[in-house]
């Protein structure tokens, strides 16, 4: 009687390795290219910082405007401390 062999063949192993290499290559290219995950995260961080600066500027302008209106209509004056 012939022995039955168990396990995977060399061909199946090579095909599995090739598929894994292809998947790794696709994943690396999607992650590292300019429009990839890291590129989009960096763009989002820059946009967030710009929006934060714009919001701070607009809030300062609003505060200055309200201070002018309040102090001019109530007769308050500011003094240097």
Domain limits at 71? 47-81
| pLDDT reported for residue 50 | 97
7 within a domain of the structure (yes/no): no
42 within a domain of the structure (yes/no): no
21 within a domain of the structure (yes/no): no
| pLDDT reported for residue 1 | 55
Q: Is the pTM of this model over 0.85?
A: no
24 within a domain of the structure (yes/no): no
Q: Is the pLDDT of residue 4 over 80?
A: no
Q: What is the C-alpha separation between 60 and 2, in angstroms, rounded?
A: 88
81 within a domain of the structure (yes/no): yes
Q: What is the CA radius of gyration of the chain?
A: 32
10 within a domain of the structure (yes/no): no
9-68 pLDDT, tens digit each: 888 999 999 999 999 999 998 888 878 888 889 999 999 999 999 999 999 999 999 988
Q: Is the pLDDT of residue 73 over 80?
A: no
Query: How many folded domains does the chain comprise?
Result: 1
Per-residue pLDDT, averaged over 63-78, amounts to 74
Q: How far is CA 4 from the centre of its chain?
A: 54
């Amino acid at each position: 009687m012939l022995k039955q062999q168990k396990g995977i063949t060399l061909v199946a192993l090579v095909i599995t390795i090739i598929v894994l290499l292809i998947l790794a290559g696709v994943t690396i290219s999607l992650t590292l290219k300019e429009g990839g995950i890291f590129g989009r995260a960096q763009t989002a961080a820059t946009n967030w910082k710009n929006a934060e600066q714009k919001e701070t500027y607009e809030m300062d302008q609003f505060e200055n405007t309200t201070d002018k209106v309040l102090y001019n209509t109530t007769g308050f004056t500011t003094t240097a401390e």
